[in-house]
Amino acid sequence: MAQLYHDVVDTSVGQLQLLVSDKGLVFVGSPNAPLSEAKSYLNNVDAVDQAITDGQKTLKYRQQISDYFEGKRHDFDLPIDHFGTGTRLQQAVWDALVLIPYGMTCDYTTIAANIGQPSAIRAVATAIAKNPVLIVTPCHRVLRKDGGLGGYRGGLTMKRQILALERTA
């Protein structure tokens, strides 16, 4: 079993739990949620339970997320480790999300078209809802076709805050 490393980053929206493997970022939690939230998003529950707190292994992840919330960073150069989570379609959606530029938004239909599955809008929405890596895999940039916020695991207040941050930075 691959080892996970745990840390917490303090941000303007609250504390975010981080899980990192030796391959990359595995999970970014909702504001002030317990680490156990990760169990709902990752296939390997035991790895979450056995995560080790290690500030050195998580330093670059914590720093880049902190810089993002301080308006100092618009793009991340962090590897993401899907950690065996998600179907091929879900992983394709998550990979497509990182291509949405900072400060821009799009809708579910656009993401479906971008991954070559234009009729899979519901599946795309489900994949976005299951995104284990908030902020770095920017599902907050996806809106409903009518421009409404839609849902967000971190809550609509957080979604509004980070969209506003991206508009003003």
User: Of these residues, 42, 97, 139, 163, which one is catalytic?
Assistant: 139
Q: Which of 120, 133, 156, 167 is nearest to 27 (CA)?
A: 133
Asked whether 127 and 86 are in contact (CB, 8 A), the reply is yes
At 27, list the tokens: 């999970």
- 106 is an active site residue: no
Q: Where are the domains of the chain?
A: 5-69, 88-168
The tens-digit pLDDT sequence of the chain (169 residues) is: 789 999 999 999 999 999 999 999 999 999 999 999 999 999 888 999 999 999 999 999 999 999 999 999 999 999 999 998 999 999 999 999 999 999 999 999 999 999 999 999 999 999 999 999 999 999 999 999 999 999 999 999 999 999 999 998 6
Pick the CATH number of 88-168 from 1.20.120.1200, 3.30.1490.390, 1.10.10.10, 1.20.120.1770: 1.10.10.10
Give residues with Cβ within 8 angstroms of 7, minimum separation 6: 17, 18, 20, 53, 54, 55, 57, 58, 61, 62
Q: How many residues does the chain have?
A: 169
The per-residue pLDDT for 45 is 85
Question: Which amino acid appears at position 67 of this protein?
Answer: D
At 36, list the tokens: 């156990």
